[in-house]
Structure 1
Amino acid sequence: MLEIIFLGGGGGRWESITQVKGTGGFRIHSEDMNMHIDSGAGALVRMNQLGINPWKTDAIISTHCHPDHYTDAENLIEAMTKGMTKKQGILIGNNSVLNGSSRFEKGISTYHQSRVGERHVLKPYDELNVKTWKLTATKTKHNDPETIGCKIETDDGLIGYTSDSEYIDSLIEDFDCIDFLIANVIRVKCQKVPGHMCSNDIIEVVNSMNKKPKMLTMYHMGMKMTDPDSEAKYISEKIDIPVIPAKIGLKITMENKSCKYDYIKY
């Protein structure tokens, strides 16, 4: 059994500033692995609210070099390495967040990167074994051109995360047959934004799959997504699977490829 715990459901600069929906990313916990994905602003605060111990972090992933996806990563590295006293843990990122690029300075310092046990820079379709899990980076189209999404194969099911991307055909094949999909949907209906998906985009992606996920969580919602519950219902009716909007404390439990959800009270 594993749990996926959301430290918010928001994304973009306005949500990062206001923290109305929270931008702390999400965690995947199993018996032998605790992974934090896209630890944006407020990750440590939300973990404290929800009673999640940051010291118990084994791996950190930052999918690209935007603050709402890496801001708290250095603090989490300090927790993962026991206050930088032990060289341990796994750090995974795209090229821009770990090395920098012509457009972006690296988001995580050389010093912090030097203290982890393993450091991996991934590009689309690279594969990596993380203990018993198999991670495959996926393709995106975003204004950090090196952004990656990911698929994570576990004993309890296949998890997919689109990260930030506008609609591209490869999303259909990359996430076909996923058991649980986390989709970054920043705007409602057909309100398109460069580098991001709106609701109608993810509807097209899922309805084009040969095998749909069992459940979808709508994540990285922008400031103009004012009624996430209503929008999730709209998407669910169009794709005929449960759609749950990410909120602080949303917990997805996966076991034997089945998915259910509830909320951590705080």
Structure 2
Amino acid sequence: MLEIVFLGGGGGRWESITQVKGTGGFRIHSEDITMHVDPGAGALVRMNQLQINPWKTDAIISTHCHPDHYTDAENLVEAMTKGMTKKQGVLIGNNSVLNGNSRFEKGISTYHQSRVGERHVLGPYDKININNWELAATKTKHNDPETIGFKLETEDGLIGYTSDSEYIDSLIEDFDCVDFLIANIIRVKGQKVPGHMCSNDIIEIVNSMKKKPKMLAMYHMGMKMTDPDSEARYISENIDIPVVPAKIGLKIILENKNCRFDYIKY
């Protein structure tokens, strides 16, 4: 059995500042490994709120160099390495987060990167193995041009994460046949914005797949997404699978390629 726990479902600078929906990323927990994905602002505070132990972190991935996806990564590295006393754990990022580029300075310091056991810089379609999981980076179209999403193959099922991207055709093929899809949907139906998806974009993507996910989580919801529950119902009615907005404490249980959800009380 595998659990995915959301430390919020918000995205964008306004949500990072106000913390209405939370921008702490999400955790993937199994008996063998624990991974933190996109630890943005508030990740450690939300973990404390939900009584999740940050010391029990084996891998960290930051998909691009925007603050709502990396701000708390250095603190998580310090937890993963037992206060920087042990050279251990896996740090994964795109090029801009780990190396910087002409547009962005690196989001995680050279010092913090030097203390991990493994460091991986991924571009689209690169693959790595983490314990018994296989992670394959996917393509995006975003303000950070080196942004990646990923597919994560586990014994309990195949997880897809779009990260931040506007609609591109490759999203259909990349996430076809995943069991559970986490889709970054910043705006409601019809409100397109460069570099991001709105509800109609994900409807088109899922309905174009040969095999749809069993469940979809709405993630990275912006300030103008004022009624996530209503928007989730709209998407669900148009793709004919369960859709749940990623509120603080949402827990997805993935087992034998089947999905169900619950909430951590706090």
For residues 93 and 74 of structure 1, the distance between their equivalents in structure 2, rounded to whole angstroms, comes to 12
Shift of 1:177: 0.1
1:229-259 Cα shifts (integer Å, max 9, x gaps): 0000000000000000000000000000000
| 1:55 lines up with 2:55 in the alignment | yes
Counterpart in the other structure of 1:264: 264
Q: Percent identity over the alignment?
A: 87
For residues 33 and 44 of structure 1, the distance between their equivalents in structure 2, rounded to whole angstroms, comes to 19
For residues 2 and 236 of structure 1, the distance between their equivalents in structure 2, rounded to whole angstroms, comes to 24
For residues 233 and 112 of structure 1, the distance between their equivalents in structure 2, rounded to whole angstroms, comes to 42
| 1:136 lines up with 2:133 in the alignment | no
Counterpart in the other structure of 1:106: 106
Counterpart in the other structure of 1:236: 236
Unaligned residue ranges in structure 2 (runs of 5+): none
Counterpart in the other structure of 1:76: 76
Q: Structure 2 counterpart of 1:82, which letter?
A: K
For residues 220 and 138 of structure 1, the distance between their equivalents in structure 2, rounded to whole angstroms, comes to 17
Counterpart in the other structure of 2:91: 91
| 1:34 lines up with 2:51 in the alignment | no
Q: Structure 2 counterpart of 1:72, which letter?
A: D
Q: Structure 2 counterpart of 1:9, which letter?
A: G
Counterpart in the other structure of 2:14: 14
Shift of 1:174: 0.0
The residue matched to 1:225 in structure 2 has which SS? coil
Shift of 1:56: 0.1
4+ residue segments displaced more than 3 Å: none
Counterpart in the other structure of 1:147: 147
Q: TM-score, normalised by structure 1?
A: 1.00
The residue matched to 1:69 in structure 2 has which SS? helix
The residue matched to 1:253 in structure 2 has which SS? strand
Counterpart in the other structure of 2:227: 227
For residues 178 and 32 of structure 2, the distance between their equivalents in structure 1, rounded to whole angstroms, comes to 22
CA RMSD of aligned residues (A): 0.2
Q: TM-score, normalised by structure 2?
A: 1.00
Shift of 1:206: 0.1
Counterpart in the other structure of 1:44: 44
For residues 73 and 213 of structure 1, the distance between their equivalents in structure 2, rounded to whole angstroms, comes to 29
Counterpart in the other structure of 2:171: 171
Shift of 1:190: 1.1
Unaligned residue ranges in structure 1 (runs of 5+): none
Q: Structure 1 counterpart of 2:103, which letter?
A: R
Shift of 1:96: 0.2
The residue matched to 2:252 in structure 1 has which SS? strand
The residue matched to 1:203 in structure 2 has which SS? helix
The residue matched to 2:85 in structure 1 has which SS? coil
Equivalent pairs, count: 266
Q: Structure 1 counterpart of 2:246, which letter?
A: A
For residues 200 and 130 of structure 1, the distance between their equivalents in structure 2, rounded to whole angstroms, comes to 34
For residues 45 and 220 of structure 1, the distance between their equivalents in structure 2, rounded to whole angstroms, comes to 18
1:44-91 Cα shifts (integer Å, max 9, x gaps): 000000000000000000000000000000000000000000000000
1:159-187 Cα shifts (integer Å, max 9, x gaps): 00000000000000000000000000000
For residues 244 and 174 of structure 1, the distance between their equivalents in structure 2, rounded to whole angstroms, comes to 21
Counterpart in the other structure of 1:117: 117
Q: Structure 1 counterpart of 2:54, which letter?
A: P
Shift of 1:198: 0.2
